[in-house]
Structure 1
Amino acid sequence: MNWVILLLVGIATTGLLWALGVSRRLWTIAGAALMLGAAGFAAQGPRHLTGKPVAANVEPIVIDPGMVAFRDAVFAPSPADGLALASADARLREGDARGAIAGLARDLAARPDDAVLWTALGYTLALHDHGLSPSAKFAFRRAVTLAPGTPGPAFFLGMAQVDAGDVAAARPAWAYALSVTPANAPYRPDIAERIAAIDQFIKMAAVRRALSGDPRQTGR
């Protein structure tokens, strides 16, 4: 097909030269230019190169069903929020964190005082940015401000800190979440167990530092 196009260009060029009244003695120059171009095309554009499909640069994110159930129990989201959260989860499973963020941002434009959406946005931003970026911290602060007496925003802030590898920083967030959790809430033991696990982790880290002579150990 490319050679056909080149032939058509040659015919069109000949017609243009004739229409402009260019002397036939000069046509050889134009012909030489076309031949040079054709030679370059043959050298630079092999016709038999195989196609190379390009894979999308995405990394699917595993969404734990247990965490989704926990989130629903903590927040008891409205139908609109439930739909927004499910849509964000679906995009994350496809590796489209930016799409999840954009979708949550659109929902927040309609419901700017929704602590559930701000919490989801903060956690999704943390996943996308591989840590608590300034934008993720802002979203979490906004969620805690809007719902100070509920455990959800603080709990997922702690989850984001654990995901980022800062386990010790998650303890204050989870301690606060536990303090505002009703005594009879079915998810209260889960939060308490996570705090206990962090305490155990901190103790083990302190022992390792003591054995290795790390000056950061307590009492130095």
Structure 2
Amino acid sequence: MTERRSLSALGVSPDSIWGDENETIVYAQALGQGKALIFRFHLNPNNPLGSLSSRIVSCYHDLEVSNEAFTFQNRGAMRNAIWSAIATVWPSCINEPAILEAGTVIDLTTYKAGEIVGLAYREPLFTQYIDLLRNIRWSDLVTQNHIPRIVDISEVVFLEAMGGRGCCKRVRVQTGLEKSSTFVFKGIDFQTYLQLHDDDDEFAHTMVETWRRSSKLVADMPPHPNI
């Protein structure tokens, strides 16, 4: 709880934690200051088994270790360590111009002195994510004869995560006005793709197609006479 309070003091809320199919990575996403940042803990052979990243990966994926010091006592302790690490690097990461680039993930690394450093990088899987969306057309998302407003993702302020399947977040679009309306951002975002990704991306393909069909169903509905 202390770690969550540390995030809360920064105006940040923890969102979700998930791992990869190869059991070498643990991701975590946190929302704050209008941004949704994805962090990565990587099982790197060059890092000692007792490093923070290695311990988190070993605990999350329940990997066999030769010493209890190479993991966590329980998953609750692991989650606390994850959010604590993110709270430590958040103030420096949030001001990095690189986090506004599409497909950016922040790799968390610990040095010998115990210092936690966040390094932003472009996740190679982002290209595969974009490829999944190439067959989506405007007609799948927008009512006929309606001209959509296109905004840059940097103009979207994430307010909070909401329930529901896939990505669902309450957002506000920067308009320059003191007060602006809030919207629901619903779709398959990069976080959702990383959670679904496997070697053949079959499940991710299925989820994108399901989202496309449901969106098209709504877009094709005739307008209600009283609205």
Same fold (TM over 0.5): no
Higher strand fraction: Structure 1 or Structure 2?
A: 2
TM-score by length of 1: 0.32
TM-score normalised according to structure 2 size: 0.31
Which structure has the higher relative contact order (CA within 8 Å, separation 6+)? Answer: 2
